[in-house]
Amino acid sequence: MKDVLTTCVYCGCGCGVYLHEDQGRICGAFPSRNHPVSRNNLCVKGWNIHEFIHHPARLTEPLLRKAGHLTPVSWDEALTYTATRLTEIRDQTANQGLGVLSSAKCTNEENYLLQKFTRAVLKTNNIDQCARL
């Protein structure tokens, strides 16, 4: 069992949190005593931050709605469909028909890449994320 220091991703406070790892699974969380922001404290979201990682309802493969039902598809099919539809919508709406909502469960680097994609490829500033609050 080992503990890994990381940053809580649920909001912009950036509390320091240790994750318990045991045999390849994250099984608990506790606050960093010396962290300059959180100083040995976490809110209820931080104490439970590990629960989504191995949650059985977490999506593990791409799904595409076919005949009204979400159907597992390959990454190639999902990405091709998504790129085609985003391009169509962007071009039909003069860059104003799309908006992007990012996730606090992404890393800072992933969120940075998403805002670059939104502005440079989708050509809109319609992007937001809950952790900016």
Residues binding ligand SF4 (CB under 6 A): 8, 10-11, 13-15, 38, 42-43, 45-46
Parallel, antiparallel, or unpaired: how do β-strands 100-102 and 127-129 relate? parallel
- Of 41 and 124, the one with the shorter C-beta distance to ligand SF4 is 41
**Interatomic CA distance for residues 119 and 77, integer angstroms:** 24
The helix or strand, by DSSP H or E, that contains position 114, with its residue range, turns out to be helix 108-120
**Interatomic CA distance for residues 30 and 55, integer angstroms:** 19
- Of 17 and 122, the one with the shorter C-beta distance to ligand SF4 is 17
CB of 37 to ligand SF4, least distance (A): 7
Cβ atoms within 10 Å, residue 12:
11
CB of 45 to ligand SF4, least distance (A): 4
- Of 14 and 97, the one with the shorter C-beta distance to ligand SF4 is 14
